[in-house]
Amino acid sequence: MKIFTNIKDIKKEVRQIRKKKLTIGFVPTMGALHQGHLTLMKQAKEKNDLVIISIFVNPLQFGPNEDFQSYPRNLKNDTRLARNAGVDIIFAPPVKEMYHNARTFIDMPNLTDKLCGKSRPGHFRGVMTVVTKLFNIIQPNIAYFGQKDFQQALIIKKMAQDLDMNLEVKILSTIRETGGLAMSSRNKYLNITQRLHANKIYHSLLKAQELIISGDKNYNKIIRRIRSTIKTIPKSRIDYIKIINPETLEDMKWAENKKILVAIAVYVGKTRLIDNIIV
């Protein structure tokens, strides 16, 4: 496994790979790898000749009062995990390598200012910008994202279409702890009691799914029900609970008979957790 930290070197490597007509599967990460990331990597390995991952805690997607400084970083452990998952190349650049005097950004009104974008202004702009840079550097055939970050995955998929990028964006199912909690690097912030309580997020999503499948169209009632479950988590604060159209992120109209997204964001202590389910 090779590790690159500068853009010029990995671009050279990618040119060599391209010359040999090998396909590249790409998994962009912020490190602190967990089973969710590793599942994306294994899938990438199965479907492509080579797997490249990036490990980069992207300052552009953190707000001024968010956890950029404290975000978990452990390159040594990540390297070990990636090697075991069959990754061929890690790209782990320092911040100044990625943003040397850069001014360009990418955005997508409507989709970036809803849900997580509402509580985290500029977040998705930062995500879109760094992902475009990474796509241009790595030139993957397929890029993999997890469904846990549903809005992110949707925005990146739409961005790739809108800008005619030459790659496929694949969104894979959320991987969960035994108790149901969606895997996330931020779970490291939780203590044992918080972790146990945080399982209620997924349980309330399952309950919502059950109600929707059984034909309940009173979404406000369903949301109230989720809310009352989440509120039993000590020191929690609900950011949003939404039942929406998974393509537009707009509220559902009753007449619609399509897929339905139930999405939750909640602070448990100081830790912001998100999860969702598609019915």
Active site residues: 37
Residues 6+ positions from 204 with CB-CB distance below 8 Å: 225, 226, 229, 230, 264
- Residue 152's φ and ψ, nearest 5 degrees, are -60, -50
- Please calculate the CA angle 205-145-239 and round it to the nearest 5 degrees: 40
Q: How many residues bind a second copy (CB under 8 A)?
A: 27
Which one of 58, 132, 147, 194 is in contact with a second copy (CB under 8 A)? 132
For residues 53 and 111, which CB has a smaller minimum distance to a second copy in the complex? 111
Distance CA 144, CA 148 (A): 12
Q: What is the largest CA-CA distance in the chain?
A: 57
Is the sign of the CA dihedral 188, 191, 195, 197 positive or negative?
Answer: negative
Among 1, 11, 67, 239, binds a second copy (CB under 8 A): 11
Residue whose pair of structure tokens reads 């320092």 in the numeric block: 94
Nearer to a second copy among residue 56 and residue 219 (C-beta):
56
As measured in angstroms, the least distance from the Cβ of 98 to a second copy is: 9
User: In angstroms, what is the minimal distance from the CB of 148 to a second copy?
Assistant: 23
Asked if 133 touches a second copy (CB under 8 A), the answer is yes
Q: Find the Cα–Cα–Cα–Cα dihedral 116, 122, 123, 127, rounded to 10°.
A: 130
Selected from 159, 171, 175, 261, the binder of a second copy by CB under 8 A is 159
Q: Please, which residue, 22 or 213, has the CB nearer to a second copy?
A: 22
Is 169 near a second copy (CB under 8 A)? no
279 binds a second copy (CB under 8 A): no
Q: Which range touches a second copy (CB under 8 A), out of 40-48, 163-171, 219-227, 263-271?
A: 163-171
162 binds a second copy (CB under 8 A): yes
Do strands 2-4 and 236-244 pair parallel, antiparallel, or not at all (unpaired)?
Answer: unpaired
Q: DSSP class of residue 217?
A: -
Nearest CB to a second copy, comparing residues 67 and 107: 107
Determine, following the binding rule CB under 8 A, whether residue 60 of this chain makes contact with a second copy.
Answer: no
42/158 with CB nearer a second copy: 158
Instruction: Report d(CA 88, CA 161) in Å as an integer.
Output: 27
DSSP β-ladder status, 261-268 and 236-244:
antiparallel
Question: DSSP secondary-structure letter at 177?
Answer: -
Q: Which two tokens stand for residue 6?
A: 């500068």
Task: Please state the closest distance from residue 139 (CB atom) to a second copy, in A.
Answer: 7
Task: Categorise residue 2: left if φ over 0, alpha if ψ from -120 to 50, beta otherwise.
Answer: beta
Site string for a second copy, 97-116 (x = CB under 8 A): -----xxxxxxxxxx-----
Positions touching a second copy (CB under 8 A) are: 7, 11, 102-111, 128-129, 132-133, 136-137, 139, 158-159, 161-166
